[in-house]
Amino acid sequence: MKLTTVVSGDMALAFLGEDIPAIGPRFKSKEAAVKAARQYLEKISEISEEGQNTAFQIVLSRQVDGLYSLVIDSASQVVGRLNNLDELLVKRFRRGLNRKLFILTCFVDSVEGQECLVLTEGLGAVFYAPGTIVG
């Protein structure tokens, strides 16, 4: 299955299923991508064990260089930070949040394009994002 992916620097965005955005860093090595995805999942699991109804907040903020950062955090700590997102990628991501869901995963550069680990390895975290904040 050919996945249409938008790439911005070291980040990638794809829309899965019924237009659910999957976003995350891109890697040249599959091993590095799998390691990073597992680290995200471990951190989310640790935070979730602290409280069953753990709320996560998604904040999009402009960096000093004009690019954007997407930060996913809970009340106690940052789960993930995606830096250097360009404005087009942010606009597409925000438009894709109409279902208020998105997937944090990793991507691997391949000959066919971007390999999305949530599809090939089942590695990704689904977030419900009713109130994404843009600063």
Q: Where are the domains of the chain?
A: 5-134
Burial class for 24, CB neighbours closer than 10 Å (0-12, 13-18, 19+): buried
- Confidence (pTM): 0.82
Tens digits of per-residue pLDDT, 49-108?
765 566 777 888 899 999 999 888 776 677 788 888 888 888 888 888 877 788 999 999
Tens digits of per-residue pLDDT, 103-135?
999 999 988 888 999 999 999 988 876 665 555
